[in-house]
Amino acid sequence: MRITRYTWDLEPGIPVIYTDFLIIGGGIAGLFTALKASAHGEVVVLTKKTIKDSNTGLAQGGIAAAVHEEDSPFLHLEDTLEAGAGICNIEAVEVLVSEGPDRVRELILAGASFDMKDGNISLAREGAHSKARILHAADTTGETIRVALVKNCEEDRRIKIIEDQFLIDLMGIQEGECQGALVYDNKSGRQVIYIARALIMATGGAGQLYQYTTNPDVATADGMAAAYRIGCELSDLEFIQFHPTVLFSHDTQRFLISEAVRGEGGLLYNTQGERFMSKYHPLEDLAPRDVVSRAILSEMTRCNSEYVLLDMSIIPGVKERFPNIYRTCLSRGINLEKEMVPVSPAAHYTMGGIKTNTNGETGVNGLYACGEAACTGVHGANRLASNSLLEGIVFGQRIVNQAEAIMYRRQVKVEELYQHFERSWVYAPLRPSLNPAIARQRLQTIMWEKVGIIRNEAGLKEANKEIESLYNHLAREENPLAYIEMVNMLTVAHVIVQACLWRRESRGGHYRSDYPQRDDIRWIKHTSFVNC
Ligand SMILES: Cc1cc2nc3c(=O)[nH]c(=O)nc-3n(C[C@H](O)[C@H](O)[C@H](O)COP(=O)(O)OP(=O)(O)OC[C@H]3O[C@@H](n4cnc5c(N)ncnc54)[C@H](O)[C@@H]3O)c2cc1C
């Protein structure tokens, strides 16, 4: 599918805002990076909706770091590599596990209060971790961290958080460079240009490409698509993590039942009342997420049911240990102290993204990426639980480590950007007729059915055709946001499908029923796509 050249119309008299660091995204990666960058210059953080709308605020289980004396970065490294199924970037994992403990201590100093036990930090153990190393704040760890970081940012006069700012596209004065961003201010209904010495993409993941997901509606892969248009590589996007236990409902965004629940003794049953995980993996209910997701799918098909059941009633003190999950289930009429909870899998985490090196640099000068939007290679083919919050802060810091050089970079004039903006690549529809809202639903269904937990060549080729057709018919509506969001979703969906077709094996978050084996002889390699 060719992405045709298109010039976004710039409004006359468009406001221009200059800053040193422009951070697009206000989740853990964006906020932590902002706090560090403000020691060096002025920082603007943009969020698509409110500062509360992010994956970060929804994180439940916790953040992993080898902070206990019986643990070590080496053990954390081994577990991360094992989960990553043979294709982690070892250098990036070394950075993650060795710098992680210090960054987590900084989070604590910033006011993130994790649960304590007998005067020490209470560390939980999650699936595929060989040690208890998960710092948590009950089952609302992400929100605890988010609130602390926002408070610090708000108290810092060099940081400005601006909500309801939708990144339309990145701008550079020549190929391979990025100095600005065209943004739609949803409050005023006007465009704004931001010019910065460094632009940091912290826009999160792509869960909303799927019909069922734990991600909020802002997770539409906008940052990945904009980076792709300006020349960045998108890597490893075939690896999507589907979380096995998500509270069953018919909504697109579904409520997660944390893996920590099974870590503490929760058990899975099919709707015929049978425990089934022993048929699928020796670790039974604690098997890796992709194995449990496929097992659940298979039991749902066998029992002709839309879900399986999770028994949490056997966990001692379940109400206190998982208060948020308890309250949410109760609000849906399920008392988990007495009843089993209906669960099914949903898209949860995007392992791939904008390719960066271990300093968060993309291939485009002036543009950096961190957090879920980035692909440092730390997760390989499958993310180890609780490593993603950590990734955001470790690589955010690594970007700021280059601040001295960044502050020497020239700030371009807006006229220079104007001259070159027509090089920008935004999709131009061929036969516009399709409303973006309808296209979104169709795409989510296609991705779920044909590019989901189990894939095969025939389904992927069908998905490819259907995505192309949606692309060619998408109408540019009055509402530019719905349109550009859909362009972004289709762009990244297209790359995901290409990556899935290319990888003829099964590994981690990529399972192909026509190539069910992992093939270490031919496939210890990465996918990478550029827009050309
Ligand atoms: C339900 C749930 C539970 C999880 N539990 C855990 C856990 O226990 N431990 C763990 O390590 N990880 C967990 N994860 C994963 C983890 O939360 C995320 O990977 C992490 O928070 C990503 O942080 P981020 O800063 O990269 O992105 P996000 O937190 O998603 O933030 C993205 C930001 O980008 C902004 N944005 C997006 N598009 C645009 C645009 N076009 N213009 C302007 N701004 C834009 C958004 O508004 C938002 O502010 C969980 C995820 C979910 C969904």
User: 3-state DSSP call for residue 471?
Assistant: helix
Query: What is the Å distance from ligand 1's center to 484 Cα?
Result: 20
Average pLDDT score over the chain: 93
| Pick from 112-121, 271-280, 427-436: least confident | 427-436
Grade residue 1 by pLDDT with cuts at 50, 70 and 90. Answer: low
Round to whole Å and give the CA distance between 309 and 343. 6
**R_g over Cα of the chain:** 22
Report the nearest atom of ligand 1 relative to the CA of 387.
Answer: 11
Q: Which of 55, 149, 370, 375 to mutate to test the pocket of ligand 1 (most atoms within 8 A of CB)?
A: 55
CA angle 508/89/218 to nearest 5° reads: 65
In the structure encoding, which two tokens stand for residue 531, read together? 């827009």
Mean pLDDT computed over 248-269: 91
Query: What is the Å distance from ligand 1's center to 31 Cα?
Result: 11
Mean pLDDT computed over 274-289: 92
Q: Which of 22, 35, 51, 56 to mutate to test the pocket of ligand 1 (most atoms within 8 A of CB)?
A: 56
Q: Is the pLDDT of residue 101 over 90?
A: yes
Number of H helices, E strands in the chain: 15, 20
Nearest CA among 288, 265, 267, 51 for reference residue 148: 51
Task: Kindly state if the Cβ of 371 falls inside 6 Å of ligand 1.
Answer: yes
Can you spell out the DSSP letters for 359-383? TSB-SSBTEEE-GGGEE-SSSTTSP
CB atoms within 10 A of CB 253: 17
Backbone torsions φ then ψ of 65, nearest 5 degrees: -165, 145
Return the pLDDT at 160.
Answer: 98
* Active-site option among 158, 229, 289, 512: 289
For 120, counting Cβ atoms within 10 Å of its Cβ (0-12 exposed, 13-18 middle, 19+ buried), the class is exposed
Task: Kindly state if the Cβ of 169 falls inside 6 Å of ligand 1.
Answer: no
Round to whole Å and give the CA distance between 527 and 529. 7
In the structure encoding, which two tokens stand for residue 321, read together? 């240990």
Q: Report which protein residue has its CA nearest ligand 1's atom 33.
A: 25
Round to whole Å and give the CA distance between 57 and 59. 6
Instruction: Give the Å distances, CA to CA, from 20 to 44, 118, 400.
Output: 8, 44, 12
| pLDDT tens profile 124-171 | 888 788 999 999 999 899 999 999 999 999 999 999 999 999 999 999
In the structure encoding, which two tokens stand for residue 426, read together? 């935004």
Task: Kindly state if the Cβ of 376 falls inside 6 Å of ligand 1.
Answer: no
Return the pLDDT at 437.
Answer: 92
Grade residue 425 by pLDDT with cuts at 50, 70 and 90. Answer: very low
Task: Kindly state if the Cβ of 182 falls inside 6 Å of ligand 1.
Answer: no
| pLDDT tens profile 288-321 | 889 999 999 999 999 999 999 999 999 999 999 8
| Pick from 1-5, 40-44, 100-104, 488-492: least confident | 1-5
Task: Kindly state if the Cβ of 30 falls inside 6 Å of ligand 1.
Answer: yes
In the structure encoding, which two tokens stand for residue 375, read together? 């692909």
Q: Is the pLDDT of residue 236 over 70?
A: yes
Q: Which of 213, 322, 389 to mutate to test the pocket of ligand 1 (most atoms within 8 A of CB)?
A: 389
Q: Report which protein residue has its CA nearest ligand 1's atom 1.
A: 58
Round to whole Å and give the CA distance between 180 and 192. 10
| pLDDT tens profile 11-67 | 778 899 999 999 999 999 999 999 999 999 999 999 999 999 999 999 998 999 999
Round to whole Å and give the CA distance between 219 and 207. 6
Grade residue 247 by pLDDT with cuts at 50, 70 and 90. Answer: very high
Round to whole Å and give the CA distance between 239 and 507. 8
Grade residue 286 by pLDDT with cuts at 50, 70 and 90. Answer: confident
In the structure encoding, which two tokens stand for residue 102, read together? 């210090």
Mean pLDDT computed over 330-348: 96
Asked if residues 197 and 181 have their Cβ atoms less than 8 Å apart, the reply is no
Query: What is the Å distance from ligand 1's center to 351 Cα?
Result: 12
Task: Kindly state if the Cβ of 62 falls inside 6 Å of ligand 1.
Answer: yes
Round to whole Å and give the CA distance between 411 and 19. 9
Q: Is the pLDDT of residue 424 over 60?
A: no
In the structure encoding, which two tokens stand for residue 16, read together? 């221009």
Return the pLDDT at 7.
Answer: 53
Mean pLDDT computed over 185-197: 94
Burial 4-29 (b: 16+ CB within 10 A, else e): eebebebeeeeeebbbbbbbbbbbbb
Query: What is the Å distance from ligand 1's center to 371 Cα?
Result: 8
Report the nearest atom of ligand 1 relative to the CA of 167.
Answer: 42
Query: What is the Å distance from ligand 1's center to 54 Cα?
Result: 5
Mean pLDDT computed over 391-412: 97
Task: Kindly state if the Cβ of 141 falls inside 6 Å of ligand 1.
Answer: yes
Report the nearest atom of ligand 1 relative to the CA of 386.
Answer: 11
Nearest CA among 92, 235, 228 for reference residue 525: 235
Grade residue 422 by pLDDT with cuts at 50, 70 and 90. Answer: low
Return the pLDDT at 90.
Answer: 98
Task: Kindly state if the Cβ of 54 falls inside 6 Å of ligand 1.
Answer: yes
Query: What is the Å distance from ligand 1's center to 30 Cα?
Result: 10
Grade residue 431 by pLDDT with cuts at 50, 70 and 90. Answer: low
Return the pLDDT at 5.
Answer: 43
Can you spell out the DSSP letters for 222-276? HHHHHHHHTT--EE-TT-EEEEEEEE--SSSB--B--THHHHTT-EEE-TTS-B-
Percentage of the chain surpassing pLDDT 70? Answer: 96
* φ/ψ bin of 377: left (φ > 0), alpha (ψ from -120 to 50), beta (otherwise): left
Q: Report which protein residue has its CA nearest ligand 1's atom 2.
A: 59
| Pick from 74-78, 115-119, 480-484: least confident | 480-484
Q: Report which protein residue has its CA nearest ligand 1's atom 50.
A: 59
Backbone torsions φ then ψ of 69, nearest 5 degrees: -65, -25
289 tagged catalytic: yes
Task: Kindly state if the Cβ of 204 falls inside 6 Å of ligand 1.
Answer: yes
Percentage of the chain surpassing pLDDT 90? Answer: 83
Beta strands 308-311; 341-350: pairing state: antiparallel
Mean pLDDT computed over 457-477: 92
In the structure encoding, which two tokens stand for residue 13, read together? 């008299």
Backbone torsions φ then ψ of 474, nearest 5 degrees: -65, 125
Provide the angle, in degrees to the nearest 10, between the axes of the packed helices 90-109 and 73-83: 120
Report the nearest atom of ligand 1 relative to the CA of 203.
Answer: 34
